[in-house]
Structure 1
Amino acid sequence: MYASRQIARAETEAETERARSDALLANILPPAVAEQLRTSPGRIIADRFENASVLFADMAGFTARSGTMPPEELVRFLDRIFGVFDELTARHGAEKIKTNGDGYMVAAGLPLPRADHAEALAGLALDMLEAARGFEGDVRIRVGIASGPVVAGVVGSAKFFYDVWGDTVNIASRMESTSENGRIQVSAATAALLAGTFALEPRGLIEVKGKGPMQTWYLIGTSDMSAQTQAPPVLEDERRQ
């Protein structure tokens, strides 16, 4: 009887530890990816997605703000903002990839493909701008979105994380860094996917580091806005970038 009780206790503890481990994976990885990792430990998880969109957002003036705020207040400030962004990301069915300082990265169309990946991030970006305006302290963000093929997978051993790579990611980052405060800049590929559904304002050619001159647009709202300007079809050479 003693041995039986010990075995039962060990099984219960093992099940509790397994449940804790599964909950941790579900918290740091997309559910579909966490399930792959749980059922196939040791397997390399990597996929190529031909049609996805990536969003970068960054807070203007954060470096100056971080130098004047007490540490606890700064962390509380970021936690409030990122908490709201997390809720909006989940609401739009997108996938949060990571935060880096005051930067926020999201993707759509992975790990589960979806045809409306660009629309999902466009709606999210507009909601993020609106949410940022509601925070005290004049929080302004720059947002950039690009669409195209990406590679995504799990890296790390002691600390897993799901990341995304490829030229589309680089372009999305450049769309954010060359955008203006309080605006959403999108690539030509993204603009073509959004035309007819969202209002777009042509920015013209801008110089993008590592890419040269690129035609970009500002996302300004949904298609019922009178200022809508539709994007032209994406050229073949733009598809290959």
Structure 2
Amino acid sequence: MSGMNPVPVENKNGERKVKSIKYKSVTVLFADIQGFTKIVEHLNPEILIDELDQFFFKFDSIVESYGIEKIKTIGDAYMAAGGIPEMSRVHPIKMVLVAMEIHRYMFELRAAKEDKHQDYWELRIGIHTGPVIAGRVGRNKTSLDIWGDTVNIASRMESSGVPGEINITGATYLLVKDFFICEYRGKMPIKYKGEIDMYFVRGIVPELSVDGDMRTPNSRFRFKMQHIRFSDLEEAVLDRFEKELPKQIYYHNFKHTIDVVTQTEIIARGEGVSEEDQLLLKTAALLHDIGFILSYEDHETHSIELAREILPHFDYSDEQIEKIAELIGVTRPNAKPVNKLQEILKDADLDYLGRSDFIQLSDSLYRELIEQKGEMSELDWNKKQCDFLRTHIYYTETARKMRQTNKEKQLEKLKLLSGDVSEK
């Protein structure tokens, strides 16, 4: 899934110029060596450069592992941004994890230096979340850069911080407070912005960390973050539906997908499914018809292929992806569910059979089939639907309670439309 990466465009004179993009929410990190000017005065230049290179190389690897964008280094200052070029709702959380890992690395170096009775380096880190302007600068070798008040405020958080601490603004705190323990430390006056709240990050919420160590995210942390990430996935998938789905797909469209996701969640809660399995179900529901953007025939196979392509970008594990692929597979017309999760998705996909607007939805499906598979009379279609409703069963108790009675009413309406006078 591609992000909004600023790209060169040609102006009316044929000159290439980079178009800037405004991002509504980006988390910016500044890291700076404490007392760097004094260190420079008595340290050999070659050793100085080697040590800075060592720091920044490690910072780069940490930043990259979290999908954060390194912006640049200026002397002893390091700048990174999350939420660009690919937009995400979890960039503040990931940026705090980046900051914690950078500090952990610096603490390890400090311990090694102290053992040898050598001078050590200390780092201040400041973080702020807000809107930025992004663009690529440079004539030949361009690099991504960002501008705006958010950048300036992040820099102020760093300069007003304390060595060894992560200083975040109130704006970032509100986005990460469910994941991290933070300590309020007062307000900082910012020109033209008034006073901004500041917090020190003390660590991960104990129950979201391995053995309560407040340092290492556990499975609950990752799952909690995935639930937020699902909104990013939903936005990206529905955007592809709007842009890439053929206009002749009248039923298996954007609206049907939203309906199935909603109904999946309702049935899953009614059946007492765990939150972890609810996420798998919602994801499978979201992607079960995405294959229609590639082909009408055997679209489920294409949906599974696209799921395997898309989901790694949204932090799904290989194990989760395989379970989601199996769930999508059960939406094939003749597939029989073999477990509770498959039963839930099967019922959600055919929820429309017991809805009050069934006849209208059935007409949309009829129009779609005519476009894709050729002629069929409306009478034949209604008879086919009658036969389908007679043999169809809802697998879950929740779906039966919600839809069975109304499904039977819809069957009676279809009988009248098709001239079917057979017994119920």
In the superposition, the TM-score normalised over structure 1's length comes to 0.74
- Structure 1 counterpart of 2:46, one-letter code: E
Alpha carbons of 1:210 and 1:77: their partners in 2 closer, same or farther (altered >3 Å)?
farther
* Residue 133 of structure 2 corresponds to residue 151 of structure 1: yes
Task: Count residues with an aligned counterpart.
Answer: 196
SS at match of 2:18: coil
Give me the whole-angstrom Cα distance separating, in 2, the residues matched to 1:80 and 1:107: 21
2:150 to 157, 168, 171: 168
1:130 to 81, 84, 104: 104
* Residue 182 of structure 2 corresponds to residue 200 of structure 1: yes
Correspondences of 1:198-237 after superposition (within 5 Å): 198-208=180-190, 211-224=193-206
2:50 to 63, 66, 76: 76
Q: Do 2:4 and 2:87's aligned partners in 1 also have CA atoms closer than 8 Å? A: no
Q: Do 2:4 and 2:84's aligned partners in 1 also have CA atoms closer than 8 Å? A: no
Q: Do 1:187 and 1:215's aligned partners in 2 also have CA atoms closer than 8 Å? A: yes
Give the deviation of 1:45 after TM superposition.
Answer: 3.1
Give the deviation of 1:212 after TM superposition.
Answer: 4.0
Give the deviation of 1:156 after TM superposition.
Answer: 2.1
Alpha carbons of 1:209 and 1:70: their partners in 2 closer, same or farther (altered >3 Å)?
farther
Q: Look up the match of 1:182.
A: 164
Give the deviation of 1:138 after TM superposition.
Answer: 2.2
Give me the whole-angstrom Cα distance separating, in 1, the residues matched to 2:130 and 2:193: 15
2:25 to 41, 46, 51: 51
Determine which structure has greater relative contact order: mean sequence separation of CA pairs < 8 Å that are 6+ residues apart, divided by chain length.
1
Q: Do 2:21 and 2:135's aligned partners in 1 also have CA atoms closer than 8 Å? A: yes
Give the deviation of 1:86 after TM superposition.
Answer: 0.5
Give the deviation of 1:93 after TM superposition.
Answer: 1.0
Structure 2 residue ranges without an equivalent (≥5): 10-14, 114-118, 215-424
Q: Judging by fraction of residues, say which structure has more strand.
A: 1
Give the deviation of 1:204 after TM superposition.
Answer: 1.6
Alpha carbons of 1:64 and 1:215: their partners in 2 closer, same or farther (altered >3 Å)?
same
Give me the whole-angstrom Cα distance separating, in 1, the residues matched to 2:4 and 2:70: 14
2:68 to 90, 94, 108: 94
Q: Do 2:5 and 2:86's aligned partners in 1 also have CA atoms closer than 8 Å? A: no
* Residue 140 of structure 2 corresponds to residue 140 of structure 1: no
Alpha carbons of 1:138 and 1:208: their partners in 2 closer, same or farther (altered >3 Å)?
farther
Give me the whole-angstrom Cα distance separating, in 2, the residues matched to 1:100 and 1:44: 23
In the superposition, the TM-score normalised over structure 2's length comes to 0.43
Q: Look up the match of 1:109.
A: 83
Identity %: 36
What is the Cα-based RMSD across aligned positions, in Å? 2.5
Structure 1 residue ranges without an equivalent (≥5): 1-30, 229-241
Give the deviation of 1:51 after TM superposition.
Answer: 1.2
Give me the whole-angstrom Cα distance separating, in 1, the residues matched to 2:191 and 2:108: 33
Query: Could you report, residue by residue, the CA deviation over 1:103-139 in whole angstroms, capped at 9, with x for unpaired residues?
Result: 0000000011011010010000001111111223322
Give the deviation of 1:206 after TM superposition.
Answer: 3.0
Give the deviation of 1:32 after TM superposition.
Answer: 7.6
Give me the whole-angstrom Cα distance separating, in 2, the residues matched to 1:80 and 1:133: 14
- Structure 2 counterpart of 1:152, one-letter code: A
Q: Do 1:94 and 1:106's aligned partners in 2 also have CA atoms closer than 8 Å? A: yes
SS at match of 1:113: coil
Give me the whole-angstrom Cα distance separating, in 2, the residues matched to 1:83 and 1:193: 28
Give me the whole-angstrom Cα distance separating, in 2, the residues matched to 1:214 and 1:163: 25
